[in-house]
Structures are given as C-alpha cells and as structure tokens.
Structure 1
Amino acid sequence: MHVVTILGFDQAYASAITGALDLFALAGVTWQRMQGQAPQQIFKVQLASIGNKPIECINHVTIQSQLAIENVDHTDILIVPTIGGKPEEVLSNNRNLLPFIQHFYDTGADIASNCSGAFFLAESGILDNKQATTHWGYAELFEQRYPCVALNSNQLITQDGSIYCSGGGMAWFDLTLLLIERYCGHDVASNTAKAHVMDLSRGSQAAYAQLRSKKYHQDQEVLLLQEWLENHYSQAITLAQLAKRVSMTPRTLLRRFKAATEQTPFAYLQSIRVEAAKKILETQSVSLEAMTNAVGYEDLSSFTRLFKSVTGLSPSQYRKKFIR
C-alpha cells in the first residue's frame, strides 16, 4: 500500500486532518462495497505529531496522534493540513516541524499542503522559486513573507514537481482526490468522488475571492481616489477626471496610484465593478444587461469577458452557483 502521513500540529483544522484520513483510507473501499465487490484498501494512512502528542486542533477539538513523526522512516505522501490560528503564531510555535518537511522532500516524498498549510512549506524553504497557492485571504501576507515563491492564489491547486498546494480550507478533498488519481488512476479517483458525492475537479478559487482593497499604503490622495471610486463606480470615469480631483497630472496619478496599490486606476475600478456585480448576482434577479449597466458598463459581452477573466465563471454561471 501507498503510505500517507498527515502531519499534525496544534491549531490545525480538525476537518482537514480527519477528512483526508477518511478519503485516503476509503479509496478502493466504499465504491467497491456499494458495487458488491471485495474492498481493497490502497493507502495506509497515519497521523503523526512531534513526540506522538495529542493534537489540540482549532475549536477545542483534540485528536490523538498515531505515532511520532520522528519515528516515520518512509512515507510516499506527507500532508500538511490547514493552519486554523494566526499563521505567524502557529509557525513560531511549530518550527520543530520544518526539518521533517525538508527531510521528506529531500527523500522523494510528495509534499502536499492544504490552504494555509502552505506557510509551513514556504517556511521550510522547499517552495523557493516554485509555484504555489494558498487561501486567497492570506495571499498578501504570504507574498510579503515569501517573495521567492511564485504564488498563484487564483488557483485551487498547484503542482510543481513533487509539491502540491491547495487553496481553500475545505479544498482538502480536491487535493486528496488529485493525489488518489496520481497514485491509482482516474477510475479510482472518479469512483471515490462519486461514492462521496464530490466533484472531481473544481480548478479555481477565484470566484470565491473578495476584493482586496490594498489600502495599507500612506498616499492620502490615492486613498481619497480609492474611496471615491468605490462610491461612484457606476459612472463614466476618465483618467483626466480622476487626476483633476487630486490636482495631479494624469501621468503623475498613474505613477502614484500604481506605486501605492500595484494596480492602475482603471484596473482597480474594474475590480470594484466585478465585486459589485457579484453582489448583485448573489442577491437580485435582475437581467444580466441591467446588472451590467448598474456597475458602469454598457456592453454585456465585454463585461462578461472581464468578469470571467477575474472569477473564472461567466455572470450566469456565477449566479447559478452563488444565488441566495
């Protein structure tokens, strides 16, 4: 059997641990039972912690570890679950896990992190100059701490060599199904997904992300423009009008706005309009044309292209997925 080791630590997500344990352990089992076939367990799954200590997960759930990570001689896959507390504090309290992540990477294991568990991989150094993802809400912090990592927070799952990262807190099932497919083939992964009523592939977390305003800078004129754009996004807006509002030339405004926010004024405006459109699609039954006009666009086709480039879904697909 293939050996899967889940690395436990205090303030981890309990569901990211137990969910992966169940899904790996039941690959080749649940579907076969449903079909009247003999079960054949494919993965040996074990939960390891420093010193085999119980794991005090977030929300006061305690899980008993099965063995000490120090005693794991071999694993095919090492899973690092979601960090449930503040990443900086959890990393600081668990630095003794980093050599084990590096060791198993060096010895050829597949290393996989769920959601904010990618912070452990980056902290160990194995993500330097590699593709990765993490939860979209932690993207700015991750980029600040690990500038050498090629972060793509729109992706739900990334793979770079033997390193796998998944984005959302509950993306452990996407990650687990991907690894089941890698080791056992598409049919086993597909049957496992069907048995547990899961989608085999979702691809992107862009549709779940919210606008990150990037207001932590100190440029007061740019802050004024950001707030004005957030309140007047439905209007027709020109660069000259924006520059006039803060007594700058258009060229100076472009330079300062991009320096402060890492976006041009119109890229920022587009982000606001997409966010406003998402809220309309989630809460109202107006036509797509009316929604497009309400956020400052006249042409539905051009806004649909913008919306899909940002969220990965068309407006109609987004509405179907998220309507309340």
Structure 2
Amino acid sequence: MNENPFVVTVLGFDQALASAITGALDVFAFAGVSWQRIHQQPAEPKFKVQLASPHGQPIRCSNQVLLTPHIAIEDVSHTDILLIPTIGGDIDTVLHEMASHLVHIKRLHKMNADIAANCTGTFLLAKTGLLDEKAATTHWGYADKFESLFPSVHLQPDKMVTEQNAIYCAGGGMAWIDLSILLIERYCGHQVASDTAKSHVLDASRTNQNIYASSRQRHFHSDNEIKNVQAFLEEKVSEKLPLSFIAKHHNMTERTLLRRFKSACDITPRQYLQNLRIEKARKLLETTNSSIEKIVAAVGYEDMSSFTRLFKKQTGLSPSQYRAKFNRVK
C-alpha cells in the first residue's frame, strides 16, 4: 500500500442504500489495484476506505442488510473525502433521525475534507446549510421535494454531478459511480480514474439525468383539469396542437391555460409537448430499427435539424448516439 493513501469515509445511517455504500467503498479501494492485477503489475492502492456511523452503531440499510462500521463518525479526526450515500428509506424520517449528527459533516468540511453526497443523500447535505447558494443536483424524481425544502440551493436536477467549493453532489441512485470516478480523477489523475472505470466496466461519460427522466414526474400535482390536458397531449403527441386549440378543447382561455399549467407542472404546455415527443422518440430509438428520419416524423417534427438540436439539449446525446447507447433490438 502507498505510504500515505488518501482517506475516504462513507457516512452510513439506517435506511441508507446499501449498494451506494459498498459500491463506492469497492471502487475507491480498488483504485490502483484492479487494473494492475489484470495486467500483472504491482498493486498500489490509492485510497484507504472506512465506513463510519453515528456512535459506531451497526447500519441497517434499506434492503435490511446490516453493515458493521469501522469507526464512529464522532471519532473521525481526518478524512480527505466524506461521502454521504443515498437515502433508501423515507427521506423525512432519515432527516429527523440524523439531525443531531449533521454537525460532523460541517466539522469535517471545516477541516478541508471534500464533501460528496449521492442521490437523495443530498438532502442530508443540504440540511447542514453547506449547499446554501451553491450548485447541487439530486435524483430527478425528488427535485420538487428538494426545491421545496431547500429553496436557497441552486438545484440543477438535469446534471449527473455538480461541484462547487469542494462540495459534490450526484444525481440518481447509481450516480455514486460517476461521483467516485470523478473524485478518483481529482486525487489521482485521469489515467488512474480511467483505468479504474475500465477495470470495473463502468461508463464514466454520463453528464446528465435527462436521458433517464420521464415526463410522468410532472403528474405529481392536484389540478385535475390540468391532468386532463396532460392526458390529451399524451394522446395527441404526434399532432399539431396550437395553444388556442388546446385551450378551447378544455374550455379555458389561453391565458388561463398557461397560468394553471405552469403553476401545476412548472413548464408550459408547449414545453411539455416537446418533452413528450422526446420521450416517444427515445422509446422508438431504444426499441425499433426505424430510421431516425421516420422516428422524427412519427413524433410530429418535420425539420430534422431542429429536432436533433432539441433532442441533444434534452438528453445530452444526439439521436444516433442515444440509439447506439440504449437500443435493445438485435
């Protein structure tokens, strides 16, 4: 082992996602090891990993796996990285149970540790106040809840990973992969990070969550008439639908429709329709071998170039790149 490997501490707690703990510990522990073993080179571990918990108590994860920590979080006097894993259980319950232990996140931050939180673990990080007025991300499905609880945080739910002032956030449940590889690169350089990713057969090129998100998340509101508008748009996704036609069909003025739709869904009907078309195109790219030109026409677009720009803006990939990555048709 290197004489002075970097120290990575994962803060475990009841109802954490087990894979976000054990997976991250594995990836860091094998940096400088797995690639070397494959190529019959001397192993040089780059990180010392440890699992901490409040009072050193066993951690009952959300899948009921019981993990034994190495150390109490109160006794961690130095770490280069503190990683907060995904909350796999009820977020509000975990926030309440962990409230008195958040002081240790702030303490280690003051001691110059990089603080990194994955997925809904960002709720715990935000609760410390360390994310106030900073960029952050979280799982796309919990973005609305996050924004309601922490309005002073600059949430960017489309991003897979954010970083500001040595505070890192990652998006969906398995985004600890992206977070770990990014931090390995920060500490050990691109080559070690790349070798680690390749040895674990990890995709280290993901940049945003939009390719995984669904427009269904916009249904979590209480305006039933707007839900009817959404259902109408979903049914007529490939048709030309002027705002005036949509409003008249639902016995509203255009102004009322815009106001209520934006209030319920946080986007306009036109943006919602665009999202539906992108989602339909994604499904066709994943499940058929139809030409991209036919798919573009099938989702209601005539201009290939404008659709391609919109698709790439939404997903981070061109239609052809998306197909190459996700198509399941042999």
- TM-score bracket, normalised by the shorter chain, equals over 0.9
Task: Give 1:197's aligned amino acid.
Answer: V
Deviation at 1:24, TM superposition (A): 1.3
Deviation at 1:213, TM superposition (A): 4.8
**More moved, 139-148 vs 292-301:** 292-301
Q: 1:66 and 1:187 mapped to 2: Cα distance? A: 30
Which of 264, 280, 287 matches 1:283?
287
Q: 1:168 and 1:253 mapped to 2: Cα distance? A: 32
**More moved, 98-107 vs 216-225:** 216-225
Q: Which residue of 1 aligns with 2:145?
A: 141
Deviation at 1:220, TM superposition (A): 4.5
Deviation at 1:35, TM superposition (A): 3.3
Q: 1:321 and 1:160 mapped to 2: Cα distance? A: 30
Deviation at 1:163, TM superposition (A): 0.4
Q: Which residue of 2 aligns with 1:305?
A: 309
Q: 1:217 and 1:15 mapped to 2: Cα distance? A: 31
Pair 1:29-2:2 in alignment:
no
Q: 1:124 and 1:223 mapped to 2: Cα distance? A: 36
Which of 7, 18, 21 matches 1:17?
21
Q: 1:155 and 1:257 mapped to 2: Cα distance? A: 25
Q: Secondary structure at the match of 1:303?
A: helix
Q: Which residue of 2 aligns with 1:318?
A: 322
Cα pair distance change 1:14/1:219, threshold 3 Å: closer
Task: Give 2:92's aligned amino acid.
Answer: E
Deviation at 1:218, TM superposition (A): 4.5
Per-residue Cα deviation, 1:285-324 (whole angstroms, up to 9, x for no partner): 2222222222221222222221111111122222222223
Q: 1:260 and 1:103 mapped to 2: Cα distance? A: 40
Pair 1:46-2:53 in alignment:
no
Structure-to-structure mapping, 1:1-324, within 5 angstroms: 1-324=5-328
Q: Secondary structure at the match of 2:218?
A: coil
TM-score, length of structure 2 as denominator length = 0.92
Partners of 2:207 and 2:316 within 8 A in 1: no
Unaligned segments of structure 2, at least 5 residues: none
Cα pair distance change 1:37/1:322, threshold 3 Å: closer
Deviation at 1:197, TM superposition (A): 2.2
Taking every aligned residue pair, what percent have the same amino acid on both sides?
56
Cα pair distance change 1:253/1:134, threshold 3 Å: same
Q: 1:197 and 1:256 mapped to 2: Cα distance? A: 46
Q: 1:140 and 1:20 mapped to 2: Cα distance? A: 27
Q: 1:142 and 1:107 mapped to 2: Cα distance? A: 27
Partners of 2:141 and 2:217 within 8 A in 1: no
Unaligned segments of structure 1, at least 5 residues: none
**More moved, 74-83 vs 249-258:** 249-258
Q: 1:11 and 1:259 mapped to 2: Cα distance? A: 33
Deviation at 1:119, TM superposition (A): 0.8
Per-residue Cα deviation, 1:243-290 (whole angstroms, up to 9, x for no partner): 222333333432333233222221111111111222222222222222
Q: How many residues align?
A: 324
CA RMSD across the alignment: 1.7
